[in-house]
Chain A
Amino acid sequence: DQQVKQNSPSLSVQEGRISILNCDYTNSMFDYFLWYKKYPAEGPTFLISISSIKDKNEDGRFTVFLNKSAKHLSLHIVPSQPGDSAVYFCAARSDNYGQNFVFGPGTRLSVLP
């Protein structure tokens, strides 16, 4: 059973609009969450992270929201740009499990010009 879920395999958004990518997790022991972006034929690159003691973290056009009670986090991209088209992975870890990172299956975002 996947501990980190991204239930939307794909998402299409118009350029300039908001992109919202969702991630749900089942393990309440997770205390740190990260988002990675991946282009074809490249490795994932780190985008933004959030600790479980916060409910929001912002970096430029990217904002991550964490709802611990719902075990849900989301990544907002505003405004969306064609260069944001990529696969986005949500990842989680827990201090109780050392450096074991658990990734979701990814969501493919397409930003249409």
Chain B
Amino acid sequence: EAQVTQNPRYLITVTGKKLTVTCSQNMNHEYMSWYRQDPGLGLRQIYYSMNVEVTDKGDVPEGYKVSRKEKRNFPLILESPSPNQTSLYFCASSLVGVGGNQPQHFGDGTRLSIL
């Protein structure tokens, strides 16, 4: 089954304790991306990657890191989490077609609470 898998689905942690949210896709997609969803703001793009070893900042990259060492994996790293990073996070992937206009497939989300 084609899917984007995020882990963990839920995490409660404390300020300053490094954490990683993993994202894996089995569709051989070149493009992967991370979003956060906050009430009234919709989904805001954090980082995206067009292919292995290629990453770019989205609209809200501060406080986050990503890496793309393998095509299928795109982990999101919070080196020193803070309460304002409490949010619902989504990973997405897609092919990169002509013009890059391919719909994204989303994971089911990771709810992070930073105390």
Contact = CB atoms under 8 A, between A and B. Distances in A.
B18 to A, nearest CB: 25
B45 A102 contact: yes
Contact of B104 (A46, A98, A104, A106): A46
Nearest to B39: A105
Contacts of A100: 45, 48, 56, 58-59
A91 to B, nearest CB: 8
B43 interface: yes
A106 B40 CA distance: 8
Interface string B41-85: 111110010100000101100000000000000000000000000
A6 B107 CA distance: 23
A49 B103 contact: yes
Contacts of B90: 43-44
Contacts of B35: 103
Contacts of A104: 42
